[in-house]
């Protein structure tokens, strides 16, 4: 853990001497372990929550995290601009984890057991989990902020919540998964892509990892080769297929575990 001097709400540019020392350090490992234990205990406590109460919890979480996003974005943008860095385009809500906000609100407010609710809840438990767990483990906010600051803890609890909600939905029976949910999970991705893909191409950015798959093992290298061969569209398609694969894995788990459990108990 970095032992420099800083305040909880200090802006990254004002924290002298910090260069990502807490990233992949013992303090991150300890916080990750605490987070996992916390998720398990809360899931056990809430496992019998009725669906009406679950929907209330999800939309309240949606309001809370949307508010936090606005506060954090406004706070950081103010200092970015004030200190001469200009507007940081990467804070726009176009990355995969930003879908968490509308997905929570829709899952909570849409008609109970309706098609729209299903789209949101399926995304939260599949692709939402993939984005959440990746960023929970590789907490990139620690590259800019020490662990016990607003900037770092914002990222920590955001992705912790993504992982929690992903399991909360199947554990409480909020949604019963079917194989067609693999495709249904892609609806929010495709809707976001209508804006994100052209924006990426015009600005040469990588929102939702759809213009280079930055940081994704194996796929990033393949995307780079495709882009260099002037096949950018295929690189984007490859990442969409990767999201589909992540969804297929999670749906298989959600369907397979109950079946395995029933098979074991029948044998007994």
Count other Cβ atoms within 10 Å, centred on residue 138: 14
pLDDT digits (tens, 9 = 90+) for 137-172: 999 999 999 999 999 999 999 999 999 999 999 999
Asked if the model's pLDDT at residue 267 lies above 60, the reply is no
pLDDT digits (tens, 9 = 90+) for 224-247: 999 999 999 999 999 999 999 999
> In terms of C-beta density within 10 A (0-12 exposed, 13-18 middle, 19 or more buried), how is residue 254 classed?
buried
What pTM value is reported for the model? 0.93
pLDDT band at 1; cut points 50, 70, 90: confident
Q: Report the pLDDT value the prediction gives residue 265, as an integer from 0 to 100.
A: 60
Mean of pLDDT values over 173-200: 97
Which of 101, 250, 261, 265 has its CA nearest to residue 177? 250
Collect all residues with Cβ–Cβ distance below 8 Å to 10 and sequence separation of at least 6. Answer: 149
Asked if the model's pLDDT at residue 135 lies above 90, the reply is yes
Dihedral (CA of 74, 102, 135, 96) sign? negative
Mean of pLDDT values over 100-112: 97
pLDDT digits (tens, 9 = 90+) for 113-133: 999 999 999 999 999 999 999
């Amino acid at each position: 853990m970095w032992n420099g001097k800083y305040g909880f709400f200090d802006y990254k540019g004002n924290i002298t001497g910090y260069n990502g020392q807490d990233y992949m350090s013992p303090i991150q490992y300890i916080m990750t372990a605490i987070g996992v234990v916390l998720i398990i205990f809360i899931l056990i406590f809430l496992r019998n929550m009725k669906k009406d109460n679950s929907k209330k919890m999800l939309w309240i979480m949606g309001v809370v995290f949307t508010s936090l996003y606005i506060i954090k974005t406004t706070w950081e943008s103010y200092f970015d601009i004030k200190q001469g860095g200009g507007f940081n385009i990467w804070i726009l809500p176009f990355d995969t984890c930003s879908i968490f906000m509308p997905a929570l609100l829709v899952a909570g407010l849409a008609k109970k057991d309706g098609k729209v609710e299903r789209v949101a809840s399926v995304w939260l438990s599949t692709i939402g989990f993939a984005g959440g767990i990746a960023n929970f483990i590789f907490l990139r906010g620690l590259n800019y902020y020490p662990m016990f600051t607003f900037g770092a803890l914002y990222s920590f609890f955001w992705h912790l919540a993504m992982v929690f909600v992903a399991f909360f939905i199947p554990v409480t029976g909020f949604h019963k998964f079917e194989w067609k949910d693999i495709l249904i999970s892609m609806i929010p991705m495709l809707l976001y892509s209508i804006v994100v893909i052209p924006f990426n191409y015009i600005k040469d950015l990588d929102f939702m990892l759809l213009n280079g798959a930055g940081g994704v093992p194996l796929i990033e290298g393949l995307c780079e080769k495709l882009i260099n061969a002037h096949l950018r569209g295929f690189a984007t398609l490859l990442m969409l297929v990767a999201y589909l694969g992540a969804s297929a894995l999670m749906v298989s788990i959600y369907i397979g575990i109950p079946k395995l459990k029933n098979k074991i108990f029948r044998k007994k």
